[in-house]
Amino acid sequence: MAGKLDGRVAFITGAGSGIGRAAAELFAAEGAAVAVVDLNGEAAEETVAKVVAEGGRAVALAANVAVAADVEAAVARTVEELGGLDVLYNNAGVDSRGSVADAEEADWDRCFNVNAKGTFLCSRAAVPPLSVRGGTIINQGSVAGLVAVPNFAAYCAAKGAVVALTRSMAIDLAPRRIRVNAICPGTVFTPLMEPMLRARGDGDLEAGLAKTVAKYPIGHLGSPEEIARVALFLAGDDSSFLTGSIVTADGGMTAQ
């Protein structure tokens, strides 16, 4: 059966863990050759091993999305080794700690550098190869970019920037045949969210999970695979009329 991404090349950042890893596996299963990009090179290699074991094609690239030279080298290697670029998934992200009353300046900078500036740098580097045959960019937002999450000030602001940037990119890149959409996931149980869930339960992860699930009308948290399937829809031709869309995948959390 034909895959939804047959013959395409996808560049996925933060693909050494969580949602990015799930997306790398799904995109490869749907026929894409995948550049697995992560700050943690070993984690990227582990994802590639999983993809290859499932019969897919992928390369691991260690890069910091917040460093222009890293990103430009990773995009150049992708084009050279995988034969072009069709899909950029700006997924790499980090969380933050505290409200504006107590957040650390360094934490604010790190959060903006990875989540917001990383999205800009990767997109800038990817635009020339994406323009060759038309392409798609998926930016990873968060419900935190749409509604307030307590004690997550820098993260809320950085994801809000990603949402605004998505709309800006969509209109600027449409003439180059590049569609740009964002996903705003609700809570997905990955290594990124574990500290927040633990803190919410005063150190007890199960209690934190129960408190969080109570905020979700659908009655459960998201899984990396559920978000990866939304990304697949935005990456492929099924979403051909979508650009500038902010797709919430949050079990109804922001509908209340």
Residues taking part in catalysis:
155
Cβ–Cβ under 8 Å, residues 4 and 30: yes
Give helix then strand counts, H and E, for the chain: 9, 7
Shortest Cβ distance from residue 228 to ligand NAD (Å)?
Answer: 10
Interface with ligand NAD (CB under 6 A), residue from 38, 61, 89, 212: 38
In this chain, which of 10, 12, 14, 181 binds ligand NAD, going by CB under 6 A? 14
Distance, in Å, from the CA atom of 140 to the CA atom of 162, rounded to the nearest integer, reads 7
- Residue 206 tokens read as 């199960």
Q: Which is nearer to ligand NAD, 29 or 67 (CB)?
A: 67
Q: Closest CB to ligand NAD among 3 and 46?
A: 46
The residue (of 59 and 83) whose beta carbon lies closer to ligand NAD is 59
β-pair partners for 58: 34
| Footprint (CB under 6 A) of ligand NAD, residues 74-133 | 91-94, 114, 118
Which residue type is seen at 217? P
Stretch that binds ligand NAD, among 4-12, 33-41, 48-56, 163-171 (CB under 6 A): 33-41
Asked if 20 is part of the footprint of ligand NAD (rule: CB under 6 A), the reply reads yes
Quick check: 135 and 152 in contact, CB under 8 A? no
Instruction: Read off the DSSP letter of residue 182.
Output: E
Q: Should residue 18 be labelled a site residue for ligand NAD when binding is judged by CB under 6 A?
A: yes
Q: How far is the CB of 2 from ligand NAD (least distance, A)?
A: 28
Q: Distance (Å, rounded) from C-alpha 243 to C-alpha 138? A: 10
Q: State the minimum distance, in angstroms, from the CB of residue 6 to ligand NAD.
A: 26
Decide: is 25 part of the binding site for ligand NAD (CB under 6 A): no
Structure tokens at 247: 């797709």
Beta-carbon contacts of 93 under 8 Å, excluding residues fewer than 6 positions away, are 14, 114, 115, 118, 140, 142, 192
Q: Which of 189, 186, 224 is nearest to 205 (CA)?
A: 189
Residue with smaller CB distance to ligand NAD, 54 or 194: 194
Instruction: State yes or no: residue 192 binds ligand NAD (CB under 6 A).
Output: yes
Distance CA(173)–CA(135), nearest Å, equals: 10
Where do contacts with ligand NAD occur on this chain (CB under 6 A)?
A: 13-14, 16-20, 38-40, 43, 64-66, 91-94, 114, 118, 140, 142, 185, 187-188, 190-193
